[in-house]
Structure 1
Amino acid sequence: MTQTLAQILARRDWENLGVIAVNRLSMHAPLQFWHKNEKPVYGQKSNNESVLNGEWQMSYFDQPEHVPETWLQTDLVTGDKITVPANWQLQGDYDVPIYTNVTYPIPVKPPDVPEQNPTGAYSKVFNLPEDWLSAGYVHVTFDGVGSAFYLWLNGEFIGYSEDSRLPAEFDLTSAVQLGENRLCVLVLRWSKGTYLEDQDMWRLSGIFRDVTLRHLPEQHLLDYYVTTTLDADFDQAIVSVQTKSTADVFIQAALYWQNTLVATQINSPGTEAIDERGANPNALQLDLIVDKPYLWSDELPHLYELVLTVSDKNKVVTHIEHVQVGIRKVAIVNGLLTLNGKPLLIRGVNKHEFHPEKGYAIDETTMRRDIALLKQNHFNAVRLSHYPNQQRWYELANEYGILLVDEANIETHGMIPMNLLTDDVNYLPQMLARLTRMVLRDRNFPAIILWSLGNESGYGHNHDALYQWLKQTDTTRPVQYEGGGADTIVTDIIAPMYARVSEDQCFPVNTKWSLKRWISKPGEQRPLILCEYAHDMGNSLGGFDRYWQAFRQFERLQGGFIWDWVDQGLAKDGDYAYGGDFGDSPNDRQFSLDGLLFPDRTAKPALQEVAYQQQYLQFRWLNGQLSVRSEYLFKTTDATLTYTIVVDGKPMKEESLTLKLPPETKKDIVVCLPKIGQQDVFLNIKVTQNVSTIDLPAGHLLAEEQFVLQRKTQFVSLPVTDRPMVVETSHAVMITSRHNKWYFDTDTGWLTQWLKDGEQQFITPLQDHFTRAPIDNDIGVSEVANPDPNAWEARWHDAGWFNLSAQLDDFAIAKVGAFIEVQTIHHFLAGHEQVLSSRKTYRFNADGMYLTVDVSRNINSLPPARVGLQVQVGIFDGLSYVGRGPLENYPDRHSGARMGYWTQTLDELTTPYIFPSENGLRTAVSSLHWGSHHILAPQTPLQIGASRYSEKALIQAKHRTALVADAGVWLNLDGQHMGVGGDDSWSPSVASEYLLTAPFYHYELMWTVN
Structure 2
Amino acid sequence: MKRMQNQLSVILIVLVAQLINAQQNSPEWQDLSIFEVNTLKPRATFYVYDSEGEALKNDYYNSNNLLLLNGTWKFNFAETPQTRPEDFYKSNFDISGWDDIKVPGDWQMQGYDFPLYVSAGYTHEINPPFVDTLYNPVGSYKRNFTLPENWKDKRVILHFGAVNSAFYVWVNGQKVGYDEDSKTPSKFDITSIVKAGENEIAVEVYRWSDGTYLEDQDFWRLSGIERDVYLYATPKSYIADVFFKAGLDSTYTEGILDASVSLRNESSRSKKLQLQLKLYDGTQEVYAADQEARLAASEKDTLQFQHLIKQVKAWSAEHPNLYTATLSLTENRNTLMSTSFKIGFRSVEIKGGKLLVNGKPILLKGVNRHEHDQYSGHMISEESMLRDIRLFKENNINAVRNSHYPNDSRWYELCDQYGIYMIDEANLETHGFGYDEDKTPANKPEFAAMHHDRLKAMVETNKNHASIIIWSMGNEAGDGPAFIDGYHWIKNRDNSRPVQYERAERGTSFQEPHTDVIPWMYASLDYIKKNYIGKYPDRPFIWCEYAHSMGNSTGNLQDLWDFVYEQPQMQGGFIWDWVDQGFVKQDSTGADYWTYGGDYGPDRYRHDANFVLNGIVNPDRTPHPALAEVKQVYQNVKIEARDTEALEFTMKNRFFFTNLDAYTISYDLLRDGVAISSNNLGSLEVAPQDSIVFTLKALRLPEDGHEYFINFTIRTKTASPLLPKDFVVARDQILLTNTPLTNNAFTESKEKLVVTDYKDSLTVKTDAVSLSFSKETGRLKSYSFKGQNYLKEEGGLNFWRAPTDNDFGNNYPKRGKIWKDASQNQELISFKVVTKTPDSVLVESVYQLDTLQAQASSRFLIYADGSLKVTNSLNYADSEKVAEIPRFGMNFILPKTYDHAKWYGRGPHENYQDRKKSAFVGIYESSVADLYFPYIRPQENGYRTENRWISLTSDSGVGIKIVGLPLVSFSAHHNYISDFDPGEEKQQRHTIDIKPRDLISLTINYKQTGVGGDNSWGAKPHEKYQLKPQNYSYSFIIKPITP
Q: TM-score range by the shorter chain?
A: over 0.9
| Structure 2 residues without counterparts, runs of 5 or longer | 1-21, 266-270, 587-591, 983-987
State how far apart, in whole Å, the 2-side matches of 1:798 and 1:195 are. 43
Instruction: Give how far 1:757 is off.
Output: 3.2
1:773 alignment partner, SS class = coil
Sort the Cα spacing of 1:59 and 1:90 in 2 relative to 1 into closer, same or farther, 3 A: same
1:407-556 aligned at under 5 Å gives the runs 407-417=425-435, 420-484=440-504, 489-502=513-526, 514-522=527-535, 524-556=537-569
Distance 1:34 1:836, change over 3 A: farther
Q: How far apart are 1:165 and its partner, in Å?
A: 0.2
* Corresponding residue of 1:510: none
CA 171–522 in structure 1, closer or farther in 2 if over 3 Å, else same: closer
| TM-superposition CA deviations, 1:687-719 (whole Å, max 9, x none) | 110111234221111211111212432353444
1:804 aligned to which of 824, 827, 844: 824
| Shift, 1:169, TM fit | 0.4
Pick from 101, 109, 113 the counterpart of residue 90 of structure 1. 109
Distance of 1:603 and 1:802 partners within structure 2: 35
CA separation in 2, counterparts of 1:417 and 1:622? 51
Query: How big is the shift at 1:648?
Result: 2.3
Q: Between 712-721 and 293-302, report the one with greater CA deviation.
A: 712-721
2:899 is equivalent to residue 880 of structure 1 = no
**Corresponding position of 2:720:** 693
In structure 2, what is the equivalent of residue 38 of structure 1? Answer: 54
Residue in structure 2 matched with residue 1004 of structure 1 by the alignment:
1035
Q: Report the 3-state secondary structure (helix = DSSP H, G, I; strand = E; otherwise coil) of the residue aligned with 1:428.
A: helix
Letter in 2 for 1:19: I
Is structure 2 residue 972 aligned with structure 1 residue 949? no
What code does the residue aligned with 1:757 have? K
Is the 1:270–1:281 contact (alpha carbons within 8 Å) kept by the matching residues of 2?
Answer: no
In structure 2, the partner of 1:47 is: 64
Residue in 2 aligned with 1:658?
682
Q: Which amino acid aligns with 2:31?
A: N
CA contact (8 A) 2:435 2:479 kept: no
Residue 222 in structure 1 maps to residue 243 in structure 2: no
Instruction: Report the equivalent of 1:387.
Output: 405
Determine if contact 1:486/1:495 at 8 Å carries over to the other structure: no
Q: What per-residue deviation string (whole Å, max 9, x for no partner) do you get for residues 355-398 of structure 1?
A: 01010000000000000000111111100000000111001111
Determine if the alignment matches structure 1 residue 62 to structure 2 residue 79. yes
- Which of 295, 300, 322 is matched with 2:319 structurally? 300
Q: Distance in 2 between matches of 1:663 and 1:38?
A: 40
For 1:500, give the aligned amino acid: S
| 2:88 partner SS | helix
Q: Provide TM-score, normalisation by structure 2.
A: 0.91
Q: How does 1:855-874 map to 2 (within 5 A)?
A: 855-857=874-876, 858-860=878-880, 861-874=882-895
Give me the whole-angstrom Cα distance separating, in 1, the residues matched to 2:617 and 2:704: 43
CA contact (8 A) 2:929 2:974 kept: no
Equivalent residues of 1:978, 1:996 under 8 A apart: yes
Instruction: Specify the code of the residue in structure 2 equivalent to 1:661.
Output: V
For the residues of structure 2 that align with 1:778 and 1:122, how far apart are their CA atoms? 46
Alignment of 1:151-230 (within 5 A): 151-230=169-248
The 1:31–1:862 alpha-carbon spacing in structure 2 relative to 1, beyond 3 Å, is closer
Q: Contact between 1:804 and 1:829, CA under 8 Å: does it hold in 2?
A: no
Describe the superposition over 1:138-196 as per-residue Cα deviations: whole angstroms up to 9, x where unpaired: 11100010000000011110000000000000111111122221110000000011000
> How far off is 1:629 after superposition?
1.4
- Classify 1:523/1:390 alpha carbon distance in 2 versus 1 (closer, same or farther; 3 Å): closer
- Matching residue of 1:631: 654
Give the 3 Å change call, closer, same or farther, for CA 522–71 of structure 1 in structure 2.
closer
Residues of 2 paired with 1:710 and 1:44: CA distance?
61
2:609 is equivalent to residue 609 of structure 1:
no
Q: CA separation in 1, counterparts of 2:85 and 2:37?
A: 22
1:921 maps onto 2:943 in alignment:
yes
Aligned residues: 973
Residue-by-residue CA offset, 1:59-92 (whole Å, 9 max, x unaligned): 0001223223441233535521111111000101
> Which residue of 2 is the match for residue 562 of structure 1?
575
1:9–1:371 distance in 2 versus 1, CA, 3 Å = farther
Question: Matches of 1:438 and 1:978 in 2, distance apart?
Answer: 44
Alpha-carbon shift at residue 522 of structure 1 (Å): 3.6
Quote the offset at 1:288 in angstroms: 2.5
Aligned equivalents of 1:652, 1:929: Cα separation in 2 = 22
Query: Residues 973 and 799 (structure 1 numbering): CA distance in 2 closer, same or farther, change over 3 Å?
Result: closer
Instruction: Give how far 1:621 is off.
Output: 1.2
Match for residue 710 of structure 2 among 683, 686, 690: 683
User: 1:669 aligns to what?
Assistant: 694
Instruction: Determine the C-alpha separation between the residues in 1 that align with 2:633 and 2:935.
Output: 23
Indicate the SS of the match to 2:555: coil
1:797-946 correspondence runs (5 A) = 797=817, 801=821, 804-813=824-833, 814-816=835-837, 818-830=839-851, 833-857=852-876, 858-860=878-880, 861-875=882-896, 876-931=898-953, 932-946=958-972
Preserved CA contact (<8 Å) 1:982 1:990: yes
- 2:17 corresponds to which residue? none
- Check whether the contact 1:825–1:838 (CA below 8 A) recurs between aligned residues: yes
Q: CA deviation at 1:653?
A: 1.4
Separation of aligned partners in 2, 1:475 and 1:938? 61
Structure 1: how far apart are the matches of 2:142 and 2:703?
77
Q: Return closer, same or farther for 1:417/1:550 CA change in 2, 3 Å cut-off.
A: closer
Alignment of 1:725-804 (within 5 A): 725-780=754-809, 790-797=810-817, 801=821, 804=824
% identical aligned pairs: 32
State the 1:798 CA deviation: 7.3
Shift of 1:32: 1.1
Shift of 1:968: 0.8
CA shift for structure 1 position 741: 1.3
Contact map agreement 1:495 1:530 (CA 8 A) in 2: yes
Mapped to 2, the partners of 1:41 and 1:955 lie a distance apart of: 56
Partner of 2:36: 21
- Taking the aligned partners of 1:17 and 1:646, their CA distance within structure 2 comes to 68
- Alpha-carbon distance in structure 2 between the residues aligned to 1:648 and 1:289: 60
- Residues 940 and 285 of structure 1, relative CA distance in 2, 3 Å threshold: same
TM-score after normalising by structure 1: 0.94
Q: Which residue of 2 aligns with 1:972?
A: 1003
* TM superposition shift of 1:644: 1.1
Consecutive aligned runs of 4 or more in structure 1 exceeding 6 Å deviation: 7-10
1:351 aligned residue = 369
Which of the residues 310, 330, 335 maps onto 2:348? 330
Map 1:133-144 → 2, pairs under 5 A: 134-144=152-162
| 1:321-365, Cα deviation, whole Å (9 max, x unpaired) | 110111110000110000010001110110001101010000000
Indicate the residue corresponding to 1:110 in structure 2. 128
Deviation at 1:650, TM superposition (A): 2.5
- The answer as to whether partners of 1:270 and 1:284 remain within 8 angstroms in 2 is no
Which sits farther off after the overlay, 627-636 or 885-894? Answer: 627-636
1:261 aligned to which of 278, 285, 300: 285
Q: For residue 449 of structure 2, give the secondary structure of its aligned residue in structure 1.
A: helix
* Conserved 8 A contact 1:533-1:984: yes
State the Cα distance separating 1:995 from its structure 2 match. 1.3
Tell me the CA shift for residue 975 of structure 1: 0.8
Gap change, CA 1:395 and 1:215, over 3 Å in 2 = same
Evaluate the alpha carbon distance shift between residue 972 and residue 863 of structure 1 in structure 2; reply closer, same or farther with a 3 A threshold: same
> SS of the counterpart of 2:807?
helix
- List gaps (5 residues or longer) in structure 1: 1-6, 272-278, 503-513, 781-789
- Taking the aligned partners of 2:154 and 2:770, their CA distance within structure 1 comes to 93
Q: Take 2:126 and 2:1036, find their aligned partners in 1: how far apart are those partners?
A: 60
